[in-house]
Structure 1
Amino acid sequence: MSDDLAMLLGTQETTSLEFKQSAKDRDKLSKAICALANDLAQKGGGHLLIGVDDSGVPVAGVDTSDDELLRLTEIRDSGQVLDRPSMTVEVATFAGKPIVHIEVKASGTPPVRYKGKIWVRPGPTTREASRDDERVLSERRRALDLPYDSRPLSTATLGDLDLVLFRSDYLPSIVAPEVIEENGRSIEQQLSSLRLADSADAVVRPTVLGLLVLGLNPSAHIPGAYVQFVRYSGTGFDAPILDDQEMRGNLVGTATRLAAVLRGHLHTRLSEGDGFREEKKPDYPLDALREVCMNAIMHRNYENSNAPVRITWFEDRIEILNPGGPFGQVRPDNFDRVNDYRNPSLAAAMKSLGYVNRFGRGIGRIRAALEANGNPAPEFDVDTSSWSVVLRRAC
């Protein structure tokens, strides 16, 4: 932004404008970004200015280097603020002095949480949300044009969800322990707050996210919500089939079963190590397989395709096909550098459950794991309706 922000935004903190003298306290910055994304005052988001004191006066010595801007961008990609906020980080001018300007867009799927807690700005300060604040944010979400994974399904009821799994695994992974301890919300309120259910028209129904993560049989309501695994004994589709499985469980069950299947089909080989020592290495690194499969589940198109995620294992390669082409700002020519999310709430859930380590790092992790294991580089084929990747066996 080339204009002076002091003239454009003012010199006093508001519900949508916060000042920080420095970027040293990343915890406070994260809370502020979370609060601005929740946009309690409905300003469309807000602005966080680094290098301005509480009285609206710019300070000297602000780090505006490219490295610092990249470090600040990591707040968005670290996976601690969920759903992942849309924000930009740039150098700007405030009262004639250089500062860092973080512009945060209002979330389309509130409430946003930082480390399991909801933060808001009802005035010129950031604080933890009250129950009423949380209710307002949850109700507001229903009025927005929701991503498919946040929409309720009229064919499903709460009886289609594994509520034991919700209490034992999901709730502790995404909500801070002290919040769970003190909260007296009903199960319906908890599910709605976490986008797993929706109470539109006074009827509580699971959302697409709820069925994908906790569903007893997700594909009964979302036909393409399953993984198909086939293992051939040769290099083509005419070879005998050694194993053929369909995994139709929820995210937790599918991930557990898929990990066991992949491990069961891996073979180890001897590889030359240091000196005269030999090392045992698998045909494919499990880290790369896990990353490819979890990314396929996370990014696939659940709304417009009934095809499953397909994992086809041949003697010399593994092919993973995902029904869902580039989304948002991602294109076939930039998919390995730019990331966007067709299913933002599912991505947040997978991060909380530990199936995704960081946002926007999947392809890099796949390439690094294959290289370290001695495998050829992955071969990606991305078009408008699907993407596939071929992993070649290590020699």
Structure 2
Amino acid sequence: MNSEELRELLKCEDDRTEWKLSAKDADKILPAICALANDLGDSRRPGYLLIGVDPKTGRVADLGQRGPALDQEQQSLASRLQSSRLWPTPAFDIQLHELDGKTLLVVRVDPYPVPPIVTVDGMPWVRRAATTVRATPADQDRLRERRPLKTQPFDVRPLAGATVEDLDMPALEERYEAAREDVDDPDVFPSFEAWLTQVQLGAPLQGTWTPNPTAILVFGRSPQSFFPGAKVELVRYAGEDIDGPIAFRRTATGTLPQQLDVLWAQMSAHVTEIPAPADGIRAPFVPDYPLEALKEMARNIVQHRQYEGTNAPARIEWFEDRIELSNPGGPFGRASEGEFGSNSDYRNPMVTDWLKQLGYVEQLGRGIRRVRKHLAKNGNPEIEVEVDGFTRVIVRRRV
């Protein structure tokens, strides 16, 4: 970028240009990058974030002399833009420029070409005129509709490199034959690969039928070969923090149904009963955690987590006084609005649909509300929720 181009960007802020005084405020920088990447106006042109410019006057404030300090600030900003808080990561470039003897950082952001929409902690942002604002539902529809060929969710798009041989063929062929027997005229039933496309487990890609992430995660022979982070690490500590001795450890791998079977079995084994206040001569015992609430949390941890763009596993850390469940990605779409669990949305709609067909989830959008009711009935404290690129839910032990 030459000086004339830079001066042009300093004339005024607009839907493709934004000014910031400092790079240290992530709560303002990340939404700005997110908004430029979403390119609500469909300009298809790069957007620019100029750092070191006073937004009130448009004058370069000067970040100081080039050297180790500025290099470190540039590297720190790049790391922040590649964090899991900003997802999916847009294409960007950061350069130091000098103008009239003053230094500023220029971040070039290319419009993100494929949905899902770019978000910060699960919330999409857009530029409206010269202002960065949260995207309304109408804005989000507009972003999706302008790219009709690529509006499918991540878990439905064909997965390059995967083949039908990566699937559990006996299980799928059994379902295929059962579906074929249910129709009046089996002779007109689609072929096996056409049926797989019909039930949204894949589609032809460059002439070859190709599974999608749902097929790999639900019916795959080795899902972790494609998604190394698609697993849940369960660890129990003999204490109240991670410095305590590890009393038990198990990693749930395989398909998502296999992971849920492992998690439910382990949770059932680890829940213990403790004495409740006496009722007359009766001395009842109640569980320290309601098992149904834990099973619901296990469903959520595999159903709603982010599988694309991360190799981080989901985790269940069981301490003496609490259980912490965390997975990559913040609440998705409408689920990010209001109190945690009050609104439902599906980051992985086809994964959810197949888990429903297999009897593992209900798909009624009431999971967290049921968790709260089970905990209250059992005498456990209200859940605690933290969102920082991961979603972390803390369930306290009944006392």
Q: TM-score category by the smaller chain?
A: 0.5 to 0.7
Given the alignment, which residue of 314, 325, 328 partners 2:330?
325
Query: 1:143, CA displacement in angstroms?
Result: 4.1
- State how many pairs are aligned: 254
- Deviation readout 1:177-227 (Å, 9 max, x if unpaired): 724984633321222111112212221121100011011211110122111
The structure-2 alpha-carbon separation of the partners of 1:334 and 1:190, relative to structure 1 and needing over 3 Å to count, comes to same
The structure-2 alpha-carbon separation of the partners of 1:159 and 1:378, relative to structure 1 and needing over 3 Å to count, comes to same
* Equivalent residue number for residue 149 of structure 1: 155
SS in 2 for 1:209: helix
* Equivalent residue number for residue 205 of structure 1: 210
SS in 2 for 1:346: helix
1:196 aligned partner, one-letter code: L
* Equivalent residue number for residue 379 of structure 1: 384
Q: Does 1:391 pair with 2:395?
A: yes
SS in 1 for 2:315: strand
TM-score norm. by structure 2 comes to 0.58
The structure-2 alpha-carbon separation of the partners of 1:247 and 1:274, relative to structure 1 and needing over 3 Å to count, comes to same
SS in 2 for 1:292: helix
Q: How does 1:113-262 map to 2 (within 5 A)?
A: 143-168=149-174, 178-179=182-183, 182=186, 184-262=189-267
| Residues 180 and 189 in structure 2, CA contact (< 8 A), matched pair in contact too | no
Query: 1:378, CA displacement in angstroms?
Result: 1.0
Q: Output the CA distance in 1 between the equivalents of 2:173 and 2:282.
A: 48
The structure-2 alpha-carbon separation of the partners of 1:346 and 1:314, relative to structure 1 and needing over 3 Å to count, comes to same
Q: Which stretch shifts more, 277-286 or 296-305? A: 277-286
- Deviation readout 1:146-205 (Å, 9 max, x if unpaired): 110011112221111112233557996xx6972498463332122211111221222112
- Deviation readout 1:113-135 (Å, 9 max, x if unpaired): xxxxxxxxxxxxxxxxxxxxxxx
Q: Output the CA distance in 2 between the equivalents of 1:272 and 1:171.
A: 55
Q: How does 1:311-390 map to 2 (within 5 A)?
A: 311-331=316-336, 333-383=338-388, 385-390=389-394
CA RMSD of aligned residues (A): 2.8
The structure-2 alpha-carbon separation of the partners of 1:370 and 1:206, relative to structure 1 and needing over 3 Å to count, comes to same
* Equivalent residue number for residue 282 of structure 1: 287
Query: 1:269, CA displacement in angstroms?
Result: 2.0
The structure-2 alpha-carbon separation of the partners of 1:148 and 1:171, relative to structure 1 and needing over 3 Å to count, comes to farther
Query: 1:278, CA displacement in angstroms?
Result: 3.3
TM-score norm. by structure 1 comes to 0.59
In our comparison, the structure showing a higher alpha carbon Rg is: 2
* Equivalent residue number for residue 97 of structure 2: none
Q: How does 1:20-39 map to 2 (within 5 A)?
A: none
For structure 1, the residue ranges without an aligned partner over 5 or more in a row are: 1-105, 107-141
Give aligned-pair identity as a percent.
40
Query: 1:364, CA displacement in angstroms?
Result: 0.6
For structure 2, the residue ranges without an aligned partner over 5 or more in a row are: 1-140, 142-147
* Equivalent residue number for residue 302 of structure 1: 307
| Residues 176 and 192 in structure 2, CA contact (< 8 A), matched pair in contact too | no
SS in 2 for 1:149: coil
Query: 1:373, CA displacement in angstroms?
Result: 1.5
Query: 1:382, CA displacement in angstroms?
Result: 2.6
Q: Output the CA distance in 2 between the equivalents of 1:222 and 1:180.
A: 40
The structure-2 alpha-carbon separation of the partners of 1:204 and 1:244, relative to structure 1 and needing over 3 Å to count, comes to same
